[in-house]
Structure 1
Amino acid sequence: MRRFIAEYLDWSLATVSSLSNLSLQCIVNNFEERPIYEELTSSEKDFIQNRVSLSLPLHFAANVFPDGVYWKRCCITEPKTVLDMVTLCKDHIKKLNIAQLLPPVKEPQTEDEEQASELTLANDDDKSGMDHFDFRILLDKLTNLEELHLVYKVKSCGMNFEWSMFEMTNRDCESLAKALKSCKTLKLFRLHLSHLEDKKCRLLVKYLLDHPSLRTLDFSHNVIGDSGARAIGKLLTKSKLEILNLYDNNIGGPGAKAIAHALSKNTTLVSLNLCLNRLKDEGGQAICKALLNNKTLLHLQLGANGVTWLTVLSLSSMLAQNNTLKSINLSCNTLGEVGGNALEEAMSHNTSVTECNIHLTDIEERRVSVINQMVWNNQFRKQETNPREKNTENAN
């Protein structure tokens, strides 16, 4: 029996690639000339996608790889590379839609580092290792950006779930707020599904108070409460917002009163969405009374807020004097027979409302039909008096 000793002492048979892997690597090296792919097994396809060059022509790669690791590799880019690309195309970027933000991966700590972090944890709510992207280094360069759609969440976290994957840190919020202030061309800002609470909402609003071009603000699907709503009310008195979406938050009566106070003086807002909050009658009545002085709001949504016939009485009084409002959403509230009577009486004198959602409000079907007929009559009158608008709707 003979034995050969390699000059390289760490060498072993385990370091030698299998013949199948060598064959697959040969396919990878010559993939553009001979794209062998469909004949391979699932694991072999993964091998190819993990190693094939990312410089393949797009029209070629799109026809070979319908989905998979290859495209994920294409999307993973160093921040410096992204910023270099932004510098070249900044004049043409008007809309930025970020569907998820991944926090940096935390490096494993030594025992000494763990003990040190435990000592400082009580004084530091934000762990620097879990901060997300600093938007100041990006938005400053996008001089023509008009829309920013942003969400702090991870789409697929698996078993590695942490709440920090679904919310921004305090430093995230501060850097974003400063970036928004510097982005003077921004017209629409949407931050949703990000566990945005009162403290962070107030900070963002602080930097948006004097924004020159912001017209649409969407904070839907967050946890904003009354304190945050008061800050938003202040924003309504100073900004030129036209659309405000606060759908699915925790705003109660006091917060709604603050928004109502601002609404009574506001002259720019045309759409207000407060569905799925906790206004109750305290907040619902305040909003309706504010519209006695407001002549610009066209769309009001108060669905699923726990309001009753008391709010409808205030709404009815407002509809008798307000000929500006065009659509109302009162769905998923308990309005009952009294609310139905009041709304029917108000609609009999109103000619401006052309949409009225009263689904699931405990109003009897006969009265719902009567109210709907009045709404349809308003729609018909509007089309007759504005034939050009009618032709436009038909064309669409």
Structure 2
Amino acid sequence: MSRPNSAGSTATDSRGFRRIIAEDPDWRLTLVPCLSNLCLQSIVKNIEEKPIFEALSPIINDFVQETLSTSLPLQVTVNLISDGVYWKRCCEQRWDICDLAHYGHSWKRMFLERHMENIIELFIPDVTEPKTVLEMVPLCKDYVKRLDISQLLPPIKEPQDEEEEEEKEEEEDEDGSKLTSHTDHDGPSMDHFDFNILLNKLTQLEELHLVYRVKQCGMNFEWKMFEMTDRDCESLAKALMSCKTLKLLKLHQSHIEDKKCRLLVKYLLDHPSLRELNFSHNLIGDKGARAIGKLLNRSKLETLNMCDNNIGGPGAKAIAHALSVNSTLLSLNLRLNCLRDEGGQAIGKALLNNNTLLHLHLGANRVTGPTAIALSKVLVQNNTLKSINLSCNNLGVDGGIALGEAMSHNTSVTECDIRLTEVDEQSASSINQVVWTNQSSEQKRHARQSETK
């Protein structure tokens, strides 16, 4: 028995089986979702109410990480989802460039560090609630090892009418003489984010990169946007002292002068873990350099970068005095200061008693022949120094001859930069030849050490 074969009807074929003819001609059995997929979709949908993430098998775990919404609250995801595909998706969705090199090749660490950086960089004093930052601490303190803060916003200026501004600018007593203006102050009047509320809570923090500036300030530009206040300096100094895990501090391009440098050093003198200090591109002079000298005597610094400051001969002498007894510093960068021969010769004399420094940069310091001669004595005696940079100084012919003669007795220096120093070609050639020989010997030594391992 058979019936008309129409859409949605049943029919009996020649074998006696009944078959269903679908109304949708494109329907296939494969379109029906598997029960397991329906279960996974339910897990993803209800992950906040029923976080069973850890109980899943690795294959199912990967599926869920690829499916979960990246907008889930961090309070849910941080403690629930380990490093993996989910955090990679979060990073790539939020930032165009995602280089894992600075984050221990961890997507989760990258996201949490950069998220914390963004919160600090957009923090507006007296407007943003401090709890915005502090709420993140329990979630990220075990992951944040490095913070690179590229801007710090000042408070918002309240508009004032002309009468108020005139009153603040100048007041007169009964005799018509001027009184002290209410706007008179030493340095800028704006304070920034207070690191004292945060750093002691980040128990894994090892690197802090800071610059006091405002990016994309446009027509609202003021010089005060590019420097720290006295209160900023004091609160930061105390915060640094409380951060016992910090190994690297970079505080650059922030108009730090002698007073602020000395205050920062005061709180860093006995820091237990600080190994690298970078105060480059600031306004630090001789008084600040003397404080740095004290720091070298008390701390275990391995790298010191004071590039592009206002350090002169007296300041260089203070650093040199510390260098003569220091046994931990490996790299010293004094490029773009004004040491002159007074400071250059002091550094050279100090290195006669130093057997640990590996890298020295004295480029663009207005040093001349006497400094070159002082350093030539070091090159003869010292077999520790690996690189020396004297570029952009007027060493002259005599200085070049002294360096060339000294290098002929040296076996350790593999980099010697004497560009733009007025050194004669013959001396430059002989120096470069020794450098190439030392480089070749160093490479062979490393090759032998690799073979023995």
TM-score, reference length from structure 1: 0.78
Q: Distance in 2 between matches of 1:294 and 1:127?
A: 41
In the alignment, residue 125 of structure 1 is paired with which amino acid? D
Three-state SS of the structure 2 residue aligned to 1:91 is coil
Is the aligned partner of 1:365 residue 2:365?
no
Larger RCO of the pair (alpha carbons < 8 Å, separation 6+): 1
Match of 1:96 among 144, 147, 159: 147
Question: 1:49 — aligned with what?
Answer: none
Larger Rg: 2
What's the offset of the Cα at 1:357? 0.5
Tell me: CA distance 1:55–1:294, structure 2 relative to 1, closer, same or farther (3 Å).
Answer: same
**Structure 1, residues 247-302: CA drift from partner, whole Å, max 9, x if none?**
11110000000000000010000000000100000000000110010110000000
- Which of 154, 158, 162 pairs up with 1:107? 158
Deviation, 1:120, is: 5.2
For the pair 1:301 / 2:358, whether they are aligned, the reply is: no
| Counterpart contact for 1:306–1:333, Cα < 8 Å | yes
Change (3 A) 1:124 1:76: closer
Name 2:136's counterpart in structure 1: 85
> Is the 1:126–1:171 Cα contact (8 Å) retained in structure 2?
no
Identify the residue that residue 213 of structure 1 maps to in structure 2: 273
Aligned residues: 334
| Match of residue 58 from structure 2 | none
Question: 1:254 matched to which residue of 2?
Answer: 314
Give the distance between the partners of 1:84 and 1:217, measured in 2 at CA: 30
CA shift in 2, pair 1:361/1:137, >3 Å: same
Counterpart secondary structure, 1:140: helix
Which position in structure 2 is the counterpart of 1:43? Answer: none
Helix, strand or coil at the partner of 2:388:
strand
Q: Which residue, 93, 118, 125 being the options, matches 2:186?
A: 125
Equivalent residue for 1:192?
Answer: 252
Contact kept? 1:383, 1:390, Cα under 8 Å: no
> What are the within-5 Å matches in structure 2 for residues 302-317 of structure 1?
302-317=362-377
Percent of pairs identical after alignment?
A: 69
Write the letter of the residue equivalent to 1:145: L
How far apart, CA to CA, are the structure 2 residues paired with 1:63 and 1:206? Answer: 43
Cα displacement (A) at 1:107: 0.8
Return closer, same or farther for 1:329/1:391 CA change in 2, 3 Å cut-off.
farther
Give the unaligned 5+ runs of structure 2: 1-69, 74-86, 98-114, 171-179
Instruction: Indicate if the aligned counterparts of 2:122 and 2:152 stay in contact, CA closer than 8 A.
Output: no
Alignment-mate amino acid for residue 124 of structure 1: H
Question: How many angstroms apart in 2 are the aligned matches of 1:61 and 1:300?
Answer: 39
Kindly provide the amino acid, as one letter, of the partner of residue 265 in structure 1.
Answer: V
Q: CA deviation at 1:368?
A: 1.3
In structure 1, the partner of 2:54 is none
Relative to structure 1, the CA distance from residue 265 to residue 134 in structure 2 (aligned partners, 3 Å threshold; closer, same or farther) is: same
Verify: 1:201 aligned to 2:261, yes or no: yes
Aligned mates of 2:280, 2:362 — CA distance in 1: 14
Moved >6 Å (runs of 4+): 60-67
**CA distance 1:60–1:369, change in 2 (3 Å):** closer
Deviations 1:205-261 (A, max 9, x none): 000000000000000011110000000000000000000000111100000000000
User: Kindly tell me: are residues 388 and 117 of structure 1, through their superposed partners in 2, closer, same or farther at Cα, counting changes over 3 Å?
Assistant: farther
Does structure 2 conserve the Cα–Cα contact (< 8 Å) formed by 1:302 and 1:331? Answer: yes
State the secondary structure of the residue aligned to 1:265: coil
RMSD: 2.8
User: Which structure 1 residue ranges, 5 or more long, are not aligned?
Assistant: 1-53
